[in-house]
Structure 1
Amino acid sequence: MTDTTPTTTTMIGEAASSGWMPTINMLFDSENNAYDFYNTYAENVGFFVRRSTLWTTSKNIVTRRTFVCSREGFREKKKGAKEVKSPRPETRIGCEACMTIRLTPNGKYRVTEFEANHNHPLATAASIQMLKAKKLRRKARATRVNLVDDSVKTPEFETEDEAYEFYNMYAGRMGFTVRRASMTVTADDVITRRMFVCSKEGFRERKKGAKRVKKPRPETRTGCPACMIIRITPGGKYHVSEFVTCHNHPLSAPSSSDLLVSQNSETGVLDDESGMADVLMMTPLSADNPFNMQARTAQDISIHSVDSKHIKSVLVGDAGATLEYLQKMQEENPSFFYAVQADDDDNLINFFWADAKSVLDFNYFGDVVCFDSTYKYFGYGRPFAQFIGVNHHKQAIIFGSALLHDESKKSYKWLFETFKNTMHGKQSKTILTDRSELMTEAIAEIMPGTFHRYCVWHIYQNTLEQLTQAFHGSKTLASDFSRCLFDYEDEDEFLMAWRTMLENYDLKDNQWLANLFEEREKWALVYKREAFYADMKSVQLKDNLSCELKKFLSPEIELFHFYENYNRLLDERRFAELQADVHASQNSRKLPSMRVLRQAAELYTHAAFKMFEKEFEFYMDCMLYSCGQIGTISEYKVTMDEKPKDHFVKFDSLDGSVTCSCKKFEFIGIPCHHMLKVLDSRNIKDLPQEYVLKRWRKDAKVGAFGGSCDFLYGGNPQTLTAKRYNYLCRIFSIVASRASKSFDASAFIESQSDVLMEQVEQILRVRTIEMSSLINASCDRAQNSVESIVIGGFRHDRVSQGSFVGATANGFLGSRLSHPTMCWGQFPAGPPEQ
């Protein structure tokens, strides 16, 4: 290492005194932050930086990075390269100045190596400024990416000229001028990408050999990053891929001519009344903008009130493909139900569907529902969501599915109300969703009495996304965090494990985990255990349905391929359930010798028996202590050597009821080992039937469909006919589903169909005679006009939300949907009311 000059030493000393000198063990939140810091230090000292060697994980997480002086190393001499007459000057001279950072377990980067000395003179302030201008020009694209405003809502354009007119109008309103910049074209001269920029973008190039002029033109380019980039879509239209609203210069006042631009109906450019506010949503920048960029506030340009961040664009052809699939399914099965929601412009935005088997499954296992919308985290491409439950074999089952392009509160209310009506008004005990304030509000309004929890599986996936660097910085953080979510059933153990995790991985200051912990009572399994959960977390850990469909949700794949695979997956899941039913009915395994276990094996499915068997094993290690008796209620303390926390069980000798402080029976539906210990101490050798939950039994799906059909005449006859049809479809679908499991049952239903049809025809003949006499008796009454009848009928068909209810057996598919609108197919909502 050669000695540095006094000037170099002085500049390094000034950087140290100003706080820009890197030090060992200095921490940074990201690799970019470390680079920016070292870059600022380099500018103050007088050299330039480049990124050198790095180490990454399989998921491209940087675990180690070295930043070096731009004169580090030596230029490589390529083999066979010819000598040139005017070789480039040598810039690399083996400078050893560098800074190395490494990823720590808490997700931050720590400085592990730092070399301050250089083997060359450092640049002056003037030369640094000149080189910075060139550097800023080279990295303009990277700067733009960090400034893209995702909250801006823009339309699609038919042509590149239409996009230019749109951006030109926007620029006139904001107070700057536009020019066309770079573009990408195909061999057929089709523009696939075009960039429109502020006229002050970039810097003026200085041509080599240019003579000095006496009166040079003033500098107009300031490197402004404001721009709009469009790209062509598979449908041939242009969509905006990047929109930067920031400027690094003062904006001029918009002229009156700019404000009075009229709309051309052919090009689709907006007029002044609808305004840019109907298309663009501007957000003023904060005062601490590092580029000192300006943007107009809401006083300068009107702001559209609709929150566009909840809207996901519907891909071309998706709406038609979905409607075609739904109509086809309904033609094949009249009891298939679907609903469609449209926005105020009659654009179809949300879809929901469910078949008769899903409705029947909900009737048996709808006590717990998980609304799975994890497509947001996995980036599937299309906003697919499912209502999922768990059956008596602990298999995931689908109650309904949706394509949800709009995630506003209004759409969530529509979806949850549609789901509730599809399940004929029955509400689940517990619903699990992602962390969303809009979902919480919608569920509280539509499903009062249903307990709302956050799904721990969604919490886990979301945290993996938010703390990617932290998880890749440690090999054990993922397992420790997973145990906090899924393994603990005692509050003290959970709190201790959470604190230990934060301390071990230096995550005390992590805001994401702090906010998550504040809401722990909505997701942690140790809280609110009076809400039935059906061990949903273990089902999702081993059986996530969305992952199986994700590759078919890509925008590059046509949607009908997704529906084909969706139906295939549905058939496979239902066949697996049928196999489990057959296996459970055969009782092929050897029964246990102990009385309680033998009884449980005969009643429970194999999956439920495994849960009971685990509790029974724990019961054998429990110790029981009597805590006294008050009236008919005796209280006991149950302890285990492995677990320091005691649990208390109350037994009522009057009715034989047992309650435990761990609330596992209320939470999972399986008696806990504490309850089993108390029952055994009271010489109760048979498991009480009230503690064998039917939803876990082999005969969980055995039982007649309960319902009444008390119809009152009156109202719109057409609507009542449709409701009766839908209700009967549901009844016979359930009968057919049960009868198909046996040849004898199927033959019986088939033999009775002719008798049943003859009785129906006889009732209809009698009804026709009665109606004829009523019509003849009322001929002298004043006739209502056809118009008033039609209007009255339409008023009756209108529901509270302004939706149309299907008036025919095949559902309503009008040529134009009203708004706010729902489009209903079959509506199996139970017995119709007057």
Structure 2
Amino acid sequence: MEEVSSSSQSVELLEHNEGNIENESEKTSNVEERVEDPKVGMLFDSIDELVEFYKLYGKAKGFGVSIRTSKKGTDGKVRYVTVACCHTGKQRIRSSNPLKLKPQSKTDCKAKLSVVLCPDEKWMLNSMILDHNHELSPGKSRFYRCHRVPQSSRKRRLELSDKTSILNNSFNSFGVDAGEHQNSPFLENDCIHLVDRVKCLQLQEGDATAMNNYFLKMQVDNSNFFYMMDLDEEGRLRNVLWVDARSRAAFKEFGDVVTFDTTYLVNKYDMPLALFVGMNHHGQLTLLGCALISSEDTETFTWLFQSWLTCMSGCPPSAIITDQDQAMKKAIEIVFPNARHRWCLWHIMKKMLEKLRGCGQYESVKFCMQNVVYDSLTKEEFEESWGRFIEKYKIERNEWLLGLYDERHRWVPAFVKDIFWAGMSTTQRSESMHAFFEGYVNSKTSLKQFLEQYENALTKKVGNENKEEFNSFKSCLPCITRYEMEKQFQSAYTTAKFKEFQQQLIGKIYCNLSSCKEGATISEYAVGEDISTGESHRRAIFYVLFNEVTSEVNCNCRLFEYRGILCKHQIVVLIQRMIYQVPDKYILKRWSKTVKRGHTKIRICYDNWFVKPEARRFDKMCNAFHEVADLATDTEDRCEMVMTWIHKLNGELKEAEDVCGTNKPISGGQVMSWQSFEFMGCLLNTILIYYHNFDHAFKMY
């Protein structure tokens, strides 16, 4: 009885604190909206009050804050204090390894407030600099350390939620408290330091009810949520596919290469879950669709692929990766006849023990097969090496190997590296299920529990992407060489992809030119590379073709073709030709950190959509445009009138974007000035005025 009473008191106390926290959150939000600009002559009762004021100002404007300096008077008392932007100071490279540098956030920003102690013990603002030399983003403010300090009442709530076990988990409770997960005042890792255990809230309804409720909730939140159900003759559910609005938008950015996997949860947890997964510009997996399937036959996969294709407006992927399932293969040939279909090499090599363990020299056979597969750079080289391998071990009649050879164009690296695979390596395990749901499901997870954990998993994924987006926005890896091409990629690529380029640049030290055959327009270079695998060392020769007219370089390692990253052998040849700025074709928009990605503007319940000012503006304009479209669909004249205006406005926007390019470069990148932000605000108002004029004109018409 004492335990029940204690728990009841805890719940009551928690509910009481919820009210306080909501009030605190509302007060904080109102303060942020009303925060005034600093002015010379402002008075503060203490340094803490000054810091709190500058933090609120910084959070509203989009930068972090730190105490920069303090100076004592002749009496030994602190009389001068400066608080500054956290980007103040110059970069300091402290790593002992010059080839493994950490991202730098210091830009020598001069923004600061300086105060002096007055005779009445108040602090007066006597000088200030408000301009920053880096981009500001209010939507990313919460990631700065100074803005991630939880209030005492929130800490108490974390403790209570952990003790009473009445919340799903401590971090998710603040997603509800703040209205959106991303509006939480601190990050999930901050919660982990306060609470060690994560609690699960189990739904009470049955599986069908839980699924129906989830789909209804998602559609209410965003009408672009898509789902399709497959029923048998008696009306019983066989298969279901769902894709949220954010995933549909992400497909437009990252749907060129898709991994389709049904193995992880089926094998480990007996849950028939299938995922469509892509790769984003940070090299992270991003969800493009989710399904529950009753069987793994051609009919089921055909229904699933066709439903998913319908969801994506009939746009198929250029390439798709699966395991060796023959039913999938047939369904892909039916639904995606023009897509390049590749088998996951990890799954194939994993089967070697099962398929070849009968061989007397298994370890030797395994080692030799791996060498043939991984070391063959060309199709001809693989054919020759495979023939010697089969003949050496007398395994001509092994049906598994015969089948693999017949389908070699689906899995051997030398056969698949001729097209873009978005960094999904030919040697990589297809980890889509593992990466998305490890830690969120277990062997006893029911469907109704999974639907809840599914959203939690996506919340974590969106948070990780936002964090990487912030890291690429806030800081950049220092260059390790003086080559101009490195600065090109530093300013253009996300941190993760720039790091990949740097690894190739570092690898240049193990390469040297062996020979050169010069032609009229095409020259062929032989580049030797010293390769170490364990204790063995060998010299590999790669051939690079250089075009004198276009400065294009093509290497037979095909790294650029299948990963979109310039390889070390190409770099060697470019530098040999004294070409220090690479042609534009080698800087892919797909890895760019400056491109505004459409999926980040989509409103969805597990993403902090409404705290992003650009997203609020996007939604505001979309609503206005939809009303215009409704008014203009009645007649062809109205439609042409709107289309003419849109084309005109599109040109004005592009011209205005070019005019706003008065930004100063920082560490090789470009930033947007405050004038640009003000201009965009005015532009939005202009668009809305246009809309109201059209609205009035249509009604009169």
TM-score by length of 1: 0.44
2:610 aligned with 1:610, yes or no?
no
Counterpart of 2:250 in structure 1 is 361
2:553 aligned with 1:661, yes or no?
no
8 Å CA contact retained: 2:530, 2:540: no
CA distance in 1, matches of 2:564, 2:633: 52
TM-fit CA distance, 1:405: 1.1
2:596 aligned with 1:702, yes or no?
yes
Bigger shift: 520-529 or 558-567? 520-529
Secondary structure of 1:578's partner?
Answer: helix
- Render the CA deviation track for 1:198-245: whole Å, top value 9, x for unaligned: xxxxxxxxxxxxxxxxxxxxxxxxxxxxxxxxxxxxxxxxxxxxxxxx
Counterpart of 1:638 in structure 2 is 527
- Render the CA deviation track for 1:501-530: whole Å, top value 9, x for unaligned: 989999887543453344332112221321
8 Å CA contact retained: 1:549, 1:562: no
2:469 aligned with 1:581, yes or no?
yes
TM-fit CA distance, 1:323: 3.6
What is the 5 A alignment of 1:592-611? Answer: 592-595=480-483, 596-611=485-500
2:421 aligned with 1:533, yes or no?
yes
8 Å CA contact retained: 2:560, 2:566: yes
TM-fit CA distance, 1:359: 1.4
8 Å CA contact retained: 2:241, 2:291: yes
TM-fit CA distance, 1:395: 1.2
Relative contact order, higher structure (CA 8 A, sep 6+):
2
TM-fit CA distance, 1:495: 7.4
Which has the greater radius of gyration? 1
Amino acid at match of 2:346: W
Relative to structure 1, the CA distance from residue 435 to residue 498 in structure 2 (aligned partners, 3 Å threshold; closer, same or farther) is same
Relative to structure 1, the CA distance from residue 470 to residue 634 in structure 2 (aligned partners, 3 Å threshold; closer, same or farther) is same
Counterpart of 1:591 in structure 2 is 479
TM-fit CA distance, 1:692: 1.3
TM-fit CA distance, 1:652: 2.4
2:543 aligned with 1:675, yes or no?
no
Q: Which has the higher helix share?
A: 2
CA distance in 2, matches of 1:553, 1:740: 27
What is the 5 A alignment of 1:205-224? Answer: none
8 Å CA contact retained: 2:544, 2:570: yes
8 Å CA contact retained: 2:261, 2:323: yes
CA distance in 2, matches of 1:378, 1:487: 31
2:627 aligned with 1:760, yes or no?
yes
Secondary structure of 1:537's partner?
Answer: coil
Task: Give the one of 519, 532, 535 matched to 1:629.
Answer: 519
CA distance in 2, matches of 1:326, 1:478: 48
Relative to structure 1, the CA distance from residue 503 to residue 324 in structure 2 (aligned partners, 3 Å threshold; closer, same or farther) is farther
Task: Give the one of 591, 600, 614 matched to 1:745.
Answer: 614
2:418 aligned with 1:524, yes or no?
no
8 Å CA contact retained: 2:344, 2:430: no
TM-fit CA distance, 1:459: 2.7
Relative to structure 1, the CA distance from residue 377 to residue 662 in structure 2 (aligned partners, 3 Å threshold; closer, same or farther) is same
What is the 5 A alignment of 1:31-46? Answer: none
Task: Give the one of 341, 344, 364 matched to 2:230.
Answer: 341
What is the 5 A alignment of 1:100-499? Answer: 318-319=207-208, 321-375=210-264, 378-461=267-350, 466=354
Secondary structure of 1:387's partner?
Answer: strand
8 Å CA contact retained: 2:261, 2:432: no
8 Å CA contact retained: 2:221, 2:605: no
Counterpart of 1:256 in structure 2 is none
Structure 1 unmatched runs, 5+: 1-315, 706-729, 772-834
Structure 2 unmatched runs, 5+: 1-204, 532-537, 639-701
CA distance in 1, matches of 2:565, 2:523: 22
8 Å CA contact retained: 1:395, 1:539: no
CA distance in 2, matches of 1:644, 1:318: 59
Amino acid at match of 1:629: G
Secondary structure of 2:239's partner?
Answer: strand
Amino acid at match of 2:494: T
Relative to structure 1, the CA distance from residue 738 to residue 322 in structure 2 (aligned partners, 3 Å threshold; closer, same or farther) is closer
Relative to structure 1, the CA distance from residue 484 to residue 325 in structure 2 (aligned partners, 3 Å threshold; closer, same or farther) is farther
TM-fit CA distance, 1:384: 0.7
8 Å CA contact retained: 1:375, 1:383: no
* Identical-residue share of aligned pairs (%): 29
Amino acid at match of 2:517: C
TM-fit CA distance, 1:572: 0.5
Relative to structure 1, the CA distance from residue 748 to residue 490 in structure 2 (aligned partners, 3 Å threshold; closer, same or farther) is same
8 Å CA contact retained: 2:476, 2:495: no
Bigger shift: 491-500 or 441-450? 491-500
8 Å CA contact retained: 2:257, 2:421: yes
- Render the CA deviation track for 1:572-620: whole Å, top value 9, x for unaligned: 0110011001001112443333222232222222222232222223333
TM-fit CA distance, 1:646: 3.2
TM-fit CA distance, 1:319: 4.9
2:575 aligned with 1:686, yes or no?
no
8 Å CA contact retained: 2:344, 2:428: no
8 Å CA contact retained: 1:409, 1:441: yes
2:435 aligned with 1:568, yes or no?
no
Amino acid at match of 2:576: S
Relative to structure 1, the CA distance from residue 588 to residue 635 in structure 2 (aligned partners, 3 Å threshold; closer, same or farther) is closer
Secondary structure of 1:649's partner?
Answer: strand
8 Å CA contact retained: 1:381, 1:553: no
CA distance in 2, matches of 1:653, 1:736: 53
Alignment size in residue pairs: 425
Relative to structure 1, the CA distance from residue 514 to residue 348 in structure 2 (aligned partners, 3 Å threshold; closer, same or farther) is same
TM-fit CA distance, 1:540: 5.2
CA distance in 2, matches of 1:336, 1:645: 51
Measured on the aligned residues, the alpha-carbon RMSD in Å equals 4.4
Secondary structure of 1:536's partner?
Answer: coil
8 Å CA contact retained: 2:282, 2:497: yes
CA distance in 1, matches of 2:265, 2:629: 56
- Render the CA deviation track for 1:27-70: whole Å, top value 9, x for unaligned: xxxxxxxxxxxxxxxxxxxxxxxxxxxxxxxxxxxxxxxxxxxx
Relative to structure 1, the CA distance from residue 549 to residue 503 in structure 2 (aligned partners, 3 Å threshold; closer, same or farther) is farther
Secondary structure of 1:622's partner?
Answer: strand
8 Å CA contact retained: 1:456, 1:485: no
Secondary structure of 1:590's partner?
Answer: coil
- Render the CA deviation track for 1:544-574: whole Å, top value 9, x for unaligned: 4347647877785421111111111111011
8 Å CA contact retained: 1:664, 1:672: yes
CA distance in 2, matches of 1:467, 1:762: 61
CA distance in 2, matches of 1:606, 1:765: 45
CA distance in 1, matches of 2:633, 2:256: 43
- Render the CA deviation track for 1:394-429: whole Å, top value 9, x for unaligned: 111111111121333232222112212222222222
Amino acid at match of 2:300: S
8 Å CA contact retained: 2:345, 2:426: no
